[in-house]
Amino acid sequence: MKVQGFNHITINVSNLSQSLAFYVDLLGMDLIHKGNYDAYLEWGKAWVCLQERPSYSKLEQQHIGIDHVAFTVDEIGFHQATTYLIEQQVSITRGPIKRGGGWTINFLDPDGTVLELHSATLQDRMQVWE
């Protein structure tokens, strides 16, 4: 079996409308489909499914799951995106820093999911991996 690349990520969210405002309006993802409790978004070659789970208890919301979701952006786009995230007062958890052969910034969506913009390829990262 040969996997061809990133396909999609599904993220459980507490409020679909609030998350759509973040992912579509702020980050600029394209809304492909919106259902009653889910939405499908596209960002470059990646797609993201948001599933509303308002009935999850606090314990369920703290479950082991996604560590972070990273999306590729070129270096020029990275610096523009960093400025934009800061201007929009998005919660930045790390960076911007040069790491893994490229620039990295980590930030939070409205439910605390860690997202990352990264400018390096896997090949770039392997050249500096220790």
* 3-state secondary structure (DSSP) of residue 32: strand
Q: Which one of 3.90.1210.10, 3.40.50.300, 3.10.180.10, 3.40.50.620 gives the CATH number of domain 66-130?
A: 3.10.180.10
- Cα(43)–Cα(10) distance, integer angstroms: 14
- Cα(3)–Cα(122) distance, integer angstroms: 14
Q: Is 112 exposed, middle or buried (0-12, 13-18, 19+ CB in 10 A)?
A: exposed
Residue 116 falls in the annotated catalytic set: yes
pLDDT tens, position by position, 9-60: 888 888 899 999 999 999 999 999 999 988 999 988 888 888 887 766 555 5
**Does this chain's domain 1-54 share its CATH topology with 66-130?**
yes
The answer to whether 89 and 97 are in contact (CB under 8 A) is no
List Cα–Cα distances, 85 to 75, 88, 108, in angstroms.
15, 5, 10
pLDDT tens, position by position, 91-113: 999 999 998 888 999 999 998 88
The CATH code of the domain at 1-54 is: 3.10.180.10
Query: Which is catalytic among the residues 42, 87, 116, 130?
Result: 116
> Domain extents for the chain?
1-54, 66-130
- pLDDT at position 31 is 94
